[in-house]
Amino acid sequence: MDRNTKPSVASAGHQEFVVTEWKPYEKGTLKGFASIILPSGLKINSISYHERDASRWLTMPSRKYTAPDGATIYSPMVEFESTEVRDSFRDVVMLALDEYFQQIDTEICPGGVR
């Protein structure tokens, strides 16, 4: 990835979400990690982007730990107050990622050219 790529911006009404970084990492459905700056100025790193067939989704950063029984557990570091808020966030981040992917080399763009 060209680290000098101009950040991509997606609007949600008066709000803008900015993709500041993309780190490709393919493993199963995982295609990579994005850093996003929200309109408030909050930067969220390590939002994972997934694809399978025609489906795409995001997962927010989480902390991995081992439970007393030895099971691996992932605890979310960020949660949404409702499904509607989560879905709205997802839609705007996906739009920002699509715009960002159009600016970078298509060889590292998940799913090819959009």
Secondary structure (H, E, C), 33-97: EEEEECCCCCEEEEEEEEEECCEEEEECCEEEEECCCCCEEEEECCCCCCHHHHHHHHHHHHHHH
Question: What are the tens digits of pLDDT across the range 11-28?
Answer: 555 468 999 999 999 999
Is residue 29 assigned to a domain? yes
The residue range of the domain holding 99 is: 8-108
Residue 87, pLDDT > 60, answer yes
Instruction: Examine residue 79 and state whether it is found in any structural domain, yes or no.
Output: yes
Residues ≥6 apart with Cβ < 8 Å to 30 = 48, 49, 50
Residue 114 included in any domain: no
Mean predicted confidence (pLDDT) in 91-100: 93
Return the higher-pLDDT residue of 31 and 103.
31
Q: Are 75 and 65 in contact (CB under 8 A)?
A: yes
Indicate which CATH number applies to the domain containing 62.
Answer: 3.30.1120
Reported confidence tier of residue 40, pLDDT bands at 50, 70, 90: very high
pTM > 0.85: no
What's the structural domain count of the chain? 1
